[in-house]
Amino acid sequence: MDTEVANGDYKRPIHEAASMGHQECVAFLLERGASVDCLKKADWTPLMMACTRKNLEVIRTLVEHGANPLLRNKDGWNCFHVASREGHPEVLRYLLDVCPSCWDTESSTGRTPLHTAAMHGRSQAVELLLERCGYRADSRDSCGVTPFMDALQNGHVGIARLLLRRHRACPTAVDALGAQALHRAAVTAQDGSIRFLVSELGVDVNARATALQLPALHYAAKPESDPKTCRNPWWDLKLVRTSGFFGSDRKKEVERWEIPGAAELEIPKLRPWKARRGESSCSWN
C-alpha cells in the first residue's frame, strides 16, 4: 500500500484523515510509514489540517509522532494560527503545552493569531491568548490594523471590551491609511461597534481619516442612499497614474487620487495585498 499517493493538490491520505478527525486512520497511516509533515498544496501539513476542527486526539497523535507545530504554510500560518481561527481553547492549550513558542508567529502580511481570533469572534480563544501569550498591545499587521480594529470591524464588541481591559488597546489607534476603528466599523456598517466607540468610549465621531481627511459618515454612506444628503465622495474617486521628474531629477511613476471639483491630493503608493481568508487588505477603494 502506497501511503504517499497524492491527488492533484498533493493531498495525501493522512491529510484527509487528519482533517476529518479519523484518529485511528491517522495512526494506521503513520505506523505504515506515512510522512507526518508532508505538504499539500499551499504547504499545509496534516497537523494544520487537523487544527481546522476540534480534533484534539488526532492532533495529539500527530505531535507524538513528531509533527512540527512551527512549520508555516504559504501564507505564513502555523498550526497555532489555524487553531486560533477555529477558536477551540482545548486545542490551543495543548499546542502551547507541547510547543510554548508556537504563539509567537506572524502571517506573510504580519497578522498574529490574536488578530485572527479577534476578527472571527473567538472570545474564548482571545481570552486564552491574552492570558498565556505575550502579544504586544496594539500589535499591527502590514496594513497597520490592530486586533481591536479587527474585532470592531466585524461587530465583536465583547472582544473589543476584553482587549481594552486586558490588553490596553488604544481605541483611537490608526492603520497605515490613517483610519481608526471607527472608520473601519463604518465601512462594514457595524452599528453596535460605532455606538460603543462614540457613546461609551467618547471617540470623536467627526475624526478624519486618510489623506482625504474624510469622517466616518463618508465611509458609512451607501449607494442606495439619497445622493443629495449622503453622497459618498469615494464614488467619484479616480486613480490616476502619471510619470515625470520629481525632487532628485529621477523619473518615477506616482499615483494620484482625484475627486472631480476638489483639489488633487497625493498619497503614497500602497502595495496591493491579495485578499485571503483570514487576512485584511490595505485597500479602501
- Span 84-132, pLDDT tens digits: 999 999 999 999 999 999 999 999 999 999 999 999 999 999 999 999 9
Q: Which helix (H) or strand (E) holds 43?
A: none
Separation of alpha carbons 4 and 78, rounded Å: 22
Instruction: Give residue 54's domain range.
Output: 1-105
- Residue 151's identity, in one-letter code, is A
Over 70: is that where the pLDDT of 28 sits?
A: yes
State phi, psi for 73 to the nearest 5 degrees.
-85, -170
Q: Is residue 33 part of a domain?
A: yes
Q: Is residue 199 part of a domain?
A: no
Q: Is residue 211 part of a domain?
A: no
pLDDT, one tens digit per residue, over 10-24 is: 789 999 999 999 999
Q: Is residue 80 part of a domain?
A: yes
* pLDDT score recorded for residue 242: 44
Of all residues in the chain, the percent with pLDDT exceeding 70 is 76
CATH number at residue 42: 1.25.40.20
Q: Is residue 9 part of a domain?
A: yes
* pLDDT score recorded for residue 222: 53
Q: How many domains does the chain have?
A: 1
Q: Is residue 169 part of a domain?
A: no
Q: Is residue 223 part of a domain?
A: no
Which 8-state DSSP code applies to residue 214? B
Query: 135, 114 in Cβ contact below 8 A?
Result: yes
Q: Is residue 207 part of a domain?
A: no
pTM of the model: 0.77
Number of other CB atoms surrounding residue 52 within 10 Å: 16
